[in-house]
Amino acid sequence: MKLLYNGRMSLGSQDLQSSKVYRLAGMADATGKPLQKLTGATERFSALLEQEGYAAIDTPVVEETELFVRKSGGELTSRLYTLVDPGGHRVSLRPEFTPSVIRHYIQERAGFNGPVRFRYSGPVFRYEQHGVGAYRQFTQAGAELIGAAGAQADAEALSIAWEGLRSIGVTGFGIRIGNIGVLQELIGGFGLSEAGRLFIISNIQAIKTGQTTLSKLTEQAARVGLLRAGLKITVDDSAAYIDGDSTRDFIEGVLGEAMSSPTGRRTPEQIVDRLLRKVREASQPGNLESALALIDQLARIDGAPGAAIDRAGVVLKSHGIDASPLDDLSALANDLRKRGIDDACLTLDFGLARGISYYTGMIFEVEHPQAAAGASLGGGGRYDGLVRALGGEDVPALGFALTMDNVVDLLK
């Protein structure tokens, strides 16, 4: 009897063979010793977190897509498994735990007092086109600390990641640390628009690795409308950074006579608002180029914390920039030393960037010389704006997660 499989006709045993359903690419079945290693390592790490006061939480595997795209950035959102459920809702498999934990915190906010600590573990899903050792489903185990600011909280997260890996039995690893917040503060003095600052921060890795040049970035910024070199407003640039009422009075004083009669469909107040927005949102080409030149030098600095901070201080001095933002990095390094983490195990990298855009301060990656190329062992950082972005109050927060599948690969 002839049967139809996948749109073609076939016969007998060939029919049965072609009807097999195979495991999806990028997915893995776990059995035997590999499964025992994964389960045992996850349990040891979870026990350490519990000892440090982190409460267990489990969140849904499927959430509204909006939760994962609102603040995560294009790199992560382009890898979502997204579908429309039978009820017509656009939902996604979780690519990480952090947004779900923050969503829970916002929903249950009334029941929390002071800093809140959560621990979790479970599968996450990210579509990968390529990648050695990268699975599309893998296990994350991590922690979130919500409601704590400052270098001490940063050091807590880093030291727990450090101790967690040791508790699992991993040796010979290091931690690479960066700080998006310090870079934002340093280029903040150039008077760039928020979009201009984000443009620079998002290109740090490309600058560091030489994948682009400063002239190409300047051209790109002009092409996407970040520069307003042709905007002829006879207002001193400082007007963009003084208080709004003073700037408004100045513009109305200069243009008051010209705006005494109706202009198109806009009222004089609307015209002033538009001019104010233009002044504030525009980045002058010279300022962008100066900020890029600074970041170009800083992004190439990495090494032991003390030496890297000294080199960054020299760069800032050559640009006439106050080096006090580096104090946060020194405070973090000192705190980590007090917690028993030697400088030799740390790399301070001014060009470090992670693929998720909600980070606002310290960020870090775990690295190991025997890890497969492109296989992340884990990392995390501070994301002070995420609680507010997802509908909560302005609450500082940070967290990290280990990629357990890659971590246990290092165990003998």
The residue that leads in pLDDT, 321 or 195, is 321
Task: Indicate the SS3 state at residue 175.
Answer: strand
Q: How far apart are CA 122 and CA 42, in angstroms?
A: 9
Q: What is the mean pLDDT of residues 103-130?
A: 91
Q: Which pLDDT belongs to residue 166?
A: 96
Q: What is the mean pLDDT of residues 56-78?
A: 89
Matching residue, tokens 């499964």 = 35
Query: In the chain, pLDDT over 90 holds for what percent of residues?
Result: 59
* pLDDT category of residue 202 using cuts at 50, 70 and 90: confident
Q: How far apart are CA 220 and CA 200, in angstroms?
A: 11
- pLDDT tops 50 at residue 61: yes
Q: How far apart are CA 51 and CA 95, in angstroms?
A: 27
Q: What is the mean pLDDT of residues 379-398?
A: 95
pTM for this entry: 0.80
**374: its two tokens:** 């492109």
- The residues near 151 (Cβ < 8 Å, ≥ 6 apart) are 328, 331, 332, 335, 362
CA atoms within 13 A on the CB side of 256: 6
Q: What is the mean pLDDT of residues 42-65?
A: 97
Q: Which pLDDT belongs to residue 58?
A: 97
- The residues near 247 (Cβ < 8 Å, ≥ 6 apart) are 235, 239, 240, 276, 279
- pLDDT tops 90 at residue 229: no
- Summarize pLDDT for 360-378 with one digit per residue, the tens: 999 999 999 999 887 889 9
- pLDDT tops 70 at residue 330: yes
**Is residue 381 within 8 Å of residue 400, measured between CB atoms?**
yes
* pLDDT category of residue 284 using cuts at 50, 70 and 90: low
Write down the mean pLDDT value for the chain: 84
* pLDDT category of residue 112 using cuts at 50, 70 and 90: confident
Q: How far apart are CA 127 and CA 150, in angstroms?
A: 34
Q: Which pLDDT belongs to residue 373?
A: 80
Range with lowest mean pLDDT among 113-117, 208-212, 314-318, 353-357: 353-357
Task: Indicate the SS3 state at residue 184.
Answer: helix
* pLDDT category of residue 254 using cuts at 50, 70 and 90: very low
Q: Where are the beta strands (DSSP E) in 180-247?
A: none
Range with lowest mean pLDDT among 107-121, 122-136, 198-212, 223-237: 223-237
Task: Indicate the SS3 state at residue 66.
Answer: helix
- pLDDT tops 60 at residue 161: yes
CA separation, residue 21 to residues 15, 16, 17, 28, 36 (Å): 13, 11, 10, 14, 26
